[in-house]
Structure 1
Amino acid sequence: MIRAAWDRLRLFNIGELLAHRGRTTMAMVVMGVSAGLLVSVFSISGSITGSVDKLTESLGGDAVLEVSGITDSGFEQQLLQQVRGVPGVEAAVPMLRQGVGADDDRALLIGADASIAQLGSTLDGALSDQATKLMTVPKGVLVGTGIGREAGEKFQIGTSTVTVAGVIDDPAAAALNDGHLIVALLPVAQQITDRVGRLDSIQIIAAPNTDVGQLRSSLSEAVDGRAVVADPSLRTAQASGSVQLVRLSTLASSAAALIVSAFLIYNAMSMAVAQRRPQLSLLRAIGGRRTPMVRDLIAEAALLGLLGGLIGALIGIVMGSQAIDRLPAAMLNAVEARTEYMVPGYAIPVAVAACVLASVGAAALAARQVYKVSPIEALAPVGVSTSDVVNPVLRWVAVVGGIGLIGASIYIANGDFGRLSMASTSLAITGAVFLCFAATGPIVRATAVVARLFGAPGALGATTVERAPRRVWATAMTVMIGVTAVVAIGNATRDMADSAAETFEGLGVTDVFVSPTAMAQFPTGPLLPSDLKDKISAVPGVAGAGSAQMAFTTLGGGRVMLQAFEDGAGRQASTDSLSSDVLRRMAAGEGVVISRDIARSLGVSEGSELDLPTPSGVHKVEVLQVVPYFSAISGVVQMDLEILRQWYQRPGETIIGVDFLPDADPEQVFAAIRAVVPPELHVDTGPGAVAEISGSVEQGTSISTSILWIVVLVSTVALLNTLMLSVLERRRELGVLRAMGTSRRFLLRTVLAEAAGIGVVGAAIGLGVGAAVHYLATIAMSQVVSLDITYQPSPLLLVYAIVALLLALLGSIPPALRAARLPIVDAIAAD
């Protein structure tokens, strides 16, 4: 039986694939594009979380728990003895972990003592071999190969000068953090970072037969809210939040490409079935059963999906490596580890499986329309058989299903579901496809009407359209989805970028910002030199300088950003919406202001009491106000600067905002400030900071936009494939027309008229659906990014639709030329 099934599959299905290489190639190409997009999207998020996970596992070794700082200021070192005294702790290994440098020079500084040998970490070999060098070289450090330093070389870390005691050349250790690693003895690391007496991490090795859950509870009681006790994987989980928005938006765009690809497979399989009707009817007439035939067709489609998915997955690996370089620097710098490109183990299997499932589902639908008919009926041409007509019951099921999906999408978009609200756009588009299926008849008639507008060639094209309603509907849907995706998601993304940029426009009123990194990268550290503010204030032309801090902290198991400002000059505009009473109560330490996403995740609202863990203990504060804030990377907690300094033990500032005197020369004052600020620090104008942040937001959405235009290109291939199959199906008919004296130009215009009908109707539906989904998407994105996004319909909506239509119509040119150039004799002789 297996041999017979294989012979049947080889002769009738694989043979057909090889005989129609053009159709097979096109189907594999679009499936490959879908697989490539999925693999690249998975690789983007997987690279960031995987890099953090790799670093955490390599440094943590055999540790089962980690006591980590609530913020990057860490916690007091005296907590180490209390941790070591907890029953069940076999070893507690202290570490200082701090990022140093910026941009391409960003590295991780690790401070550790001799107890690190108990961890069995990747650094053990390197440290044991070169420990003597660290102890004998004053302010000596070991550096990874990525630092680009040699033994004996001196270089600057912050305000300290260190000496390279050795280069970590052990292969495993050298690969840590892409070789951008600096290792020092714990006291030296504390000294050069000006953090004497503080730690960032304590790695915990449990004693044999210790219950880890109970040990976690005991450690939590010992630290008493001054640090976080969790699995080492917490760092990876927190890093995943910084890319979740990009992952969701790009997945939505990739899903659109996969749906379009499924429609193309449906068309290809429908045409394959139509071409094989005489053969299949004879098999039925001599006793062949429908089940093996359907199974073989599905196997054929699965093979297409498998091969296309595997080829596309390889392309997706390259696409992902290119796309990750386009992520905003703020997103990459928000995590501790340098991002190393890696493809998650699940990426390729999931992408290939998605392609196979999409192909199988499309083929199953295509098989149904033929194999449900009798052998005699199967001899009828496409469009005449009852299988080509939408069943009334199925039509009503589609109507109910479409309305249900659209209703669900509206509910999800308006509900408080956070980032899951993005699913509403896919549901709405799917619901629209269901409704369009129920309206197959009107869509086909409208397509024929448009085709007839092109005169006699159009009339012939309209006849072809009416003979193949399912194929025309499926092709119109590919165009519709492409136009809808570009119009809806593209415009909604633009609205989001514009609304996000508006929230930062108030920064432009401040003349200059000084920070350790660019403002677009959220300058969370290191702290600026303690005397820098006084130096800037003394510059001629400076009216005043105000301090601010940004810092990541752990709250409710997730990572959020602290923002704190002092009253007076330099206050950032993000507090402009707060009343004087809220500002007064914040300054008194009575409460904090939080963004919507934090309120949602913690289940609190304005007036609620919030437990705020800090290095100085847990502080109970009131939620004074819940505000909209662009939370693409993390939620925000706002408080007074002095309160942050006290509770989080972070003296100083990470941002200094400078205002000029009214009559000062801006260029001269800026140059004078630049002269007193150390060269490694960033100095930017207020308008420049706004432009940088706006550019960073747009950069974050550019990947999704690129994928949307790929969806349009897939739609182009779908139209090309359908029309080419239509030409091949009608070779004899076209040959007879040529023999009767019909000109090549007439046939060319016939195919173009058919394409125009499908393209115009599909684009018109896509424009209407896209405009509605655009409005829905702005509501959903408002929930996702915790920001009030303004719906802004613009002429670009129509421009996008026209461009998408023109690209789709490009796919009609090759089949039209093919029809015009068919040799008469060969065409008439076609089987």
Structure 2
Amino acid sequence: MIRAAWDRLRLFNIGELLAHRARTIMAMVVMGVSAGLLVSVFSISGSITGSVDKLTRSLGGKAALEVSGITDAGFDQSLLQQIRTVPGVETAAPMLRQSIGADADRALLIGVDQSIAQLGSDLGGTLKDQAGKLLTVPNGVLVGSAMGHREGERFQLGTVTATVAGVIDDATAAKLNGGHIVFALLPVAQKITGRAGHLDSVQIVAAPNTDVGQLRSDLTAVVAGRAVVADPDLRTAQAGGAIMLVRFSTLASSAAALIVSTFLIYNAMSMAVAQRRPTLSLLRAMGGKRGPMVRDLLAEAALLGLLGGLVGAIIGIFMGRTAIHQLPAAIVNSVESRTEYEVPGYAVPVAIAACVLASVAAAALAARQVYKVAPIEALAPVGVGTADQVSPLLRWSAAVLGLVMVGGGIAVAEVDLGRYSIGAISLSIAGSVVLCFAATGPIVRAVAAVAGLFGAPGALGATTIERAPRRVWATVMTVMIGITAIVAMGNASRNMVSAATDSFEGLGRTDVFVSPTAMEQFPTGPLLPADLKAKLAAIPGVGGVGSAQMAFATLGRGRVMLQGYEDGVARTSALDDVSKADQARMAAGEGIVISRDVARSLGVDEGSELALPTPSGEHRVKVLRVVPYFSAIAGVVVLDLDIMRQWYQRPGETIIGIDFAPGADPAAVMAAVRAAVPGDIHVSTGRQAVDAISSSVQQGTAISAAILWIVVLVATVALLNTLMLSVLERRRELGVLRAMGTSRRFLLRTVLTEAAGIGLTGAALGLAIGSAVHYLATVALGHAIAMDIAYRPSPLLVLYAVIALGLALLGAIPPALRAARLPIVEAIAVD
């Protein structure tokens, strides 16, 4: 029986795939594109979280818990002895961890003591082998092979001239931040960073038979809010939060590509059924059963999805490697580890499974057109038999389901679910497709009516359209989804970029910013030189100099960005609506301002009291205001700069704002500022800072935009497929028309009118649905980034829709030319 099934599949299905290579390749390509997009999207987020997780495991080994600093200022080393006395702690290995360098030279400095050997980590083994070198070489360090230093070489590291005591071998270095790592004994690392008496982390190995949950509670009581006690995977979870918005938006766009590909596979299977109709009808007349035929077609579709998914997954691996370099630097630099490209283990199987399931679902719909009709009916053209008719029950069920899905999309968009609100976009588009299925009849009639407007060729094209309602509907949907995605997501992304840019316009009121990294990367460190502010204030033409500071901090299980400002110096939209009285309360340490996403995650509102853990202990403060603020990477907590310095033990500043004196020559003052600032510190005007942040936000949406245009190209292939199927089904009819004297030009125009009817109807639906989804998308994105986004339809997006329609209509050219060039004798001989 299995042998018979295989022979049937090989002869009737695989043989047909090989005989019609163009259609087979086309189906595999579109599924491959979908698989490639899914793999690349999974790889982008997986690379960031995977890199953090890899580094965490390599450093922590068998540690069950980690006591980590609330900010990069760490916590007082005196906590270490208290931690070691907690019952159940077998090993408490201290670490100092600090990023050094910037951009391509960014590395991680790790300071440890001899207890690191008890963790059983990659780091412990490395230090055990070379501990003697570190003890005997003054200011000695071990460096990863990627650092480019040789043993015995001396180089400047922070405030110290370090000596390379040894170079970690390539195999071990690859597990430790990609080899961009420096190890030193704890006192040396503290000397290098100027952080004597401070730690960033303590890795905890629990004693045998210890209740880890109870140990966590005991450690939390000991640190008393001065540090965070959590599982080692907390850093990975926080890294995932930084990439979540990009992951959701690109995944939604990739899902649109998969939906369009499903419709295309449906048309490809319909084409296969049409070509095999004589064979299938003959098999039915000879007693062939419907079940095996249906299963064979599903197996054929599964094979297409599998092969297309496999090829696409391989391509997606390379696509992801390219795309990850397009991520904004603010996202990449917001995590401790360097991002190493890696493909998560689930990425390829999930992408292939999605392609196979989509192909099988599409084939199941196509199989119904022929396999569920009587043998004599199978000899009739598609559309004449009952298989192409939608039953009233199915139509009404689709209408109800579509309304429920659209209603659910509206609810998800309106309810503030944070980044999960983005799901409203996909849900509403899917609901619209289901509603359109319920309206298949009116849509097909509209397509025929549009085609009929083009005279006699259009009338003939309209007749063909009405004979294949489901295939025409499927192609209209591919065009509609492509244009809907462009109009809705493209417009919403533009609105988001505008809103984010507007929120940072206040920075433009400051003449110059000085920061350790570019302003668009949200400069959180290192701190600027202590004497730099005084030097800048002494420059002729400088009217005012003020300080600000940014730092990432752990709050709950999430991560927030602390922002501290001096009164009247640094401009931020977060304080625009905060009264002078509330600012005075901030200066006294009585209250803070938080962004909406922080309020949502902590379950607090204006007036609520909040326990704020800091390295100096837990402080209870009041939430003065909950404000909209661009939170694509992390939520924001705003407090007075002096309070931030005291509570979080971060003296100094990471941003210095400069205002020119009235009448000063801006060019001359700017030149003097650049001369006074060390070369590795960034200097930019306020306007340049605003433009750079705007550009960074646009860069974050660029990947999603590229995917949307790929969806449009897939829709083009779908239209080509449908019209090629139309020509295929009517080869004999077209041959008779040619024999009767019909010109090639008439037949060419007939096929083009079909394309016009499908394209224009799909475009009209896309514009209408896209405009509605655009509104939902602005609301959903507003919740996702915790700020207000104005709904601003852009006429430019109508132009984009026209361009998308034009690209789709290009798919009509090959089948139209084929119809016009069809040999008369060959066409009449069909069947």
Give the TM-score range, shorter chain: over 0.9
2:355 match: 355
Q: CA deviation at 1:573?
A: 4.4
C-alpha contact (below 8 Å) 2:594/2:638 kept by paired residues: yes
The one-character-per-residue Cα deviations of 1:404-438 (angstroms, maximum 9, x if unpaired) are 11111111100121111111111111111122112
1:712 match: 712
Q: What secondary structure is seen at the aligned counterpart in 2 of 1:15? A: helix
Q: Does the alignment pair 1:755 with 2:760?
A: no
- Of residues 527-536 and 131-140 in structure 1, the stretch that sits farther from structure 2 once superposed is 131-140
1:597 match: 597
2:499 match: 499
Q: CA deviation at 1:174?
A: 4.5
Q: What secondary structure is seen at the aligned counterpart in 2 of 1:684? A: strand
Partner Cα distance (2:400, 2:204) in 1: 57
Q: What secondary structure is seen at the aligned counterpart in 2 of 1:376? A: helix
- Of residues 577-586 and 163-172 in structure 1, the stretch that sits farther from structure 2 once superposed is 163-172
1:689 match: 689
Partner Cα distance (2:560, 2:592) in 1: 13
C-alpha contact (below 8 Å) 1:571/1:657 kept by paired residues: no
Q: CA deviation at 1:567?
A: 1.1
The one-character-per-residue Cα deviations of 1:425-453 (angstroms, maximum 9, x if unpaired) are 11111111122112212211221222222
Q: CA deviation at 1:818?
A: 1.6
**Which amino acid counterpart does residue 341 of structure 2 have in structure 1?**
Y
2:782 match: 782
C-alpha contact (below 8 Å) 1:122/1:172 kept by paired residues: yes
1:314 match: 314
Q: CA deviation at 1:709?
A: 0.3
Q: Does the alignment pair 1:114 with 2:114?
A: yes
The one-character-per-residue Cα deviations of 1:459-517 (angstroms, maximum 9, x if unpaired) are 22222111111111110110000000000011101100110010001101111111111
1:517 match: 517
1:261 match: 261
Partner Cα distance (2:217, 2:431) in 1: 48
Q: Does the alignment pair 1:286 with 2:257?
A: no
**Which amino acid counterpart does residue 389 of structure 2 have in structure 1?**
V
C-alpha contact (below 8 Å) 1:126/1:173 kept by paired residues: no
Q: How does 1:420-459 map to 2 (within 5 A)?
A: 420-459=420-459
C-alpha contact (below 8 Å) 1:716/1:810 kept by paired residues: yes
**Which amino acid counterpart does residue 481 of structure 1 have in structure 2?**
I
Q: How does 1:382-781 map to 2 (within 5 A)?
A: 382-781=382-781
- Of residues 770-779 and 438-447 in structure 1, the stretch that sits farther from structure 2 once superposed is 438-447
Partner Cα distance (2:170, 2:403) in 1: 62
**Which amino acid counterpart does residue 315 of structure 1 have in structure 2?**
I
The one-character-per-residue Cα deviations of 1:615-639 (angstroms, maximum 9, x if unpaired) are 1111111111100011100100111
Partner Cα distance (1:342, 1:652) in 2: 38
- Of residues 458-467 and 566-575 in structure 1, the stretch that sits farther from structure 2 once superposed is 566-575
Partner Cα distance (1:175, 1:390) in 2: 58
- Of residues 599-608 and 337-346 in structure 1, the stretch that sits farther from structure 2 once superposed is 599-608
Q: What secondary structure is seen at the aligned counterpart in 2 of 1:66? A: strand
Q: What secondary structure is seen at the aligned counterpart in 2 of 1:783? A: helix
**Which amino acid counterpart does residue 735 of structure 1 have in structure 2?**
G
**Which amino acid counterpart does residue 813 of structure 1 have in structure 2?**
I
C-alpha contact (below 8 Å) 1:123/1:173 kept by paired residues: no
Q: CA deviation at 1:182?
A: 1.1
The one-character-per-residue Cα deviations of 1:298-345 (angstroms, maximum 9, x if unpaired) are 111111111111110001001000000000000000000000000000
Q: CA deviation at 1:239?
A: 0.3
Q: How does 1:154-233 map to 2 (within 5 A)?
A: 154-233=154-233
1:11 match: 11
C-alpha contact (below 8 Å) 2:55/2:175 kept by paired residues: no
**Which amino acid counterpart does residue 183 of structure 1 have in structure 2?**
F
Q: What secondary structure is seen at the aligned counterpart in 1 of 2:122? A: coil
TM-score, scaled relative to structure 2: 0.98
The one-character-per-residue Cα deviations of 1:127-161 (angstroms, maximum 9, x if unpaired) are 23332332233222221122222233333333433
The one-character-per-residue Cα deviations of 1:150-197 (angstroms, maximum 9, x if unpaired) are 233333333433232322225223542121111111111111111000
Partner Cα distance (2:164, 2:743) in 1: 81
Partner Cα distance (1:754, 1:6) in 2: 39
List alignment gaps of at least 5 residues for structure 1. none
Partner Cα distance (1:824, 1:236) in 2: 67
The one-character-per-residue Cα deviations of 1:45-94 (angstroms, maximum 9, x if unpaired) are 00000000000000111211111101110000011101111111111111
Q: CA deviation at 1:721?
A: 1.1
Q: Percent sequence identity over matched residues?
A: 75
Q: CA deviation at 1:571?
A: 4.2
The one-character-per-residue Cα deviations of 1:237-267 (angstroms, maximum 9, x if unpaired) are 1100000000000000000000000011111
C-alpha contact (below 8 Å) 2:44/2:324 kept by paired residues: yes
The one-character-per-residue Cα deviations of 1:709-753 (angstroms, maximum 9, x if unpaired) are 000000001111111122222222222222222222222222111
- Of residues 793-802 and 499-508 in structure 1, the stretch that sits farther from structure 2 once superposed is 793-802
C-alpha contact (below 8 Å) 2:257/2:711 kept by paired residues: yes
Q: CA deviation at 1:33?
A: 0.4
2:332 match: 332
The one-character-per-residue Cα deviations of 1:11-40 (angstroms, maximum 9, x if unpaired) are 222122222222111111110000000000
Partner Cα distance (2:157, 2:519) in 1: 21
1:64 match: 64
- Of residues 784-793 and 450-459 in structure 1, the stretch that sits farther from structure 2 once superposed is 450-459
Q: What secondary structure is seen at the aligned counterpart in 1 of 2:94? A: strand
Q: What secondary structure is seen at the aligned counterpart in 1 of 2:589? A: coil
Instruction: Give the aligned length.
Output: 831
Q: What secondary structure is seen at the aligned counterpart in 2 of 1:803? A: helix
